[in-house]
Amino acid sequence: MDRVCYVLATLAAVRGFVGVAPRRGATPRRALSVSEEASESSALVQLRQRAVTATGVSAWATQWWLDRRLEGLLARDGEAYGRIATRLHVEEGVARSALPNVENVGFAHLSNATFDENVAEKALLELTRRRYAARAPVPVSRSQEPGIRGLLDEMRQVAFAASPDAQRELVVAVLKDLATPVLPVFYRLVVAGCRPSTANGDPAWLEAAARRLPLLREPEEAPPPFYAAFLTAVVAPLVFSYLVGPATINRRADGALGGIVVTRCKFLQESGCKGLCLHQCKLPAQQLFNDDLKLPLYVKPNFDTLECQWSWGTPAPP
């Protein structure tokens, strides 16, 4: 059932792929006036109430229009969107997972999640733990805890003994090991649209063959292809869920596609540690995508709700 829900969410995102995402020549973002925000808030609350009471095609059409209005508001004025989306969530019962973005959305009550690891996730966590212990700059004692809790125990040992930079480089190295030498080369070429280069770790034969392909870009000279952020957001929940928990596709803070939200971060909930989150999750993930895979990534954890927004195509602030 979870896989079915994920596919449906993906289709819903595709439905809005050419919707309100900012385009070249589009109207620039503009803050709504107080009266405009009040009018928009009232209209969206009425739409929500009609969507709840309507049936059949009418309910679907009303919900579809509410979704499009929220996406348009997010693209125009993120702060006004946050206040109105908070009202819809807290007062009107709109689920956070149904909102296009939750970075600035307040909350009423959130409880801890229970994470059940399947056979594949247990195997991936075991492999991650072995690579982590093998690459750690300090001796790591094997934890008796299974799964993610055991990995976090071992990460704490490194955190107490190694510098933040060493922690970050360790996790980046482990992620590269898990990706194998093939996947980064494939990703940079097919998804990020980068011209192969031996400086990035690409094979020399591929660099020579790609010289005849004019459509490929130099990462420092041109932005990624229009599909790169969205395609990565579609695949990412399937790849990273064993470490961070379930995630759904949503929109970035600028209203464009290319984001996911981890609804309850397993890493953060089980560790209860902002330092581990920062130095052994957020910063390594950003570095891996920015420096090695050539697609900007901004990871923004919410330490109050334990949600985490991942936005591809958005550079992380310095």
From CA 171, how far away is CA 128, in angstroms rounded?
A: 10
From CA 302, how far away is CA 311, in angstroms rounded?
A: 14
Do 279 and 164 touch, CB atoms closer than 8 A? yes
- pLDDT at 220 (0 to 100): 73
Q: pLDDT tens for residues 195-253?
A: 888 888 888 988 888 877 777 777 777 789 999 999 999 999 999 999 999 999 999 99
- pLDDT at 12 (0 to 100): 44
Confidence of residue 129 (pLDDT cuts 50, 70, 90): very high
- pLDDT at 274 (0 to 100): 93
Q: In this structure, what token pair is assigned to residue 178?
A: 């898990």
DSSP symbols for 243-297: HH--EEEEE-TTS-EEEEEESS-HHHHHH--HHHHIIIIIHHHHHIIIIII---E
Task: Please name every residue paired with 248 in a beta bridge, in sequence order, or none if there are none.
Answer: 261
For the ranges 68-77, 105-114, 120-129, 159-168, which has the lowest average pLDDT?
A: 105-114
CA dist list (Å): 293 to 123, 140, 141, 190, 228: 25, 29, 32, 11, 11
H helix runs in the chain, sequence order: 2-15, 34-53, 56-76, 78-90, 119-135, 147-161, 164-179, 182-186, 204-209, 228-244, 266-271, 274-277, 283-287
Q: The whole model's pTM is what?
A: 0.86
- pLDDT at 14 (0 to 100): 42
From CA 83, how far away is CA 77, in angstroms rounded?
A: 10
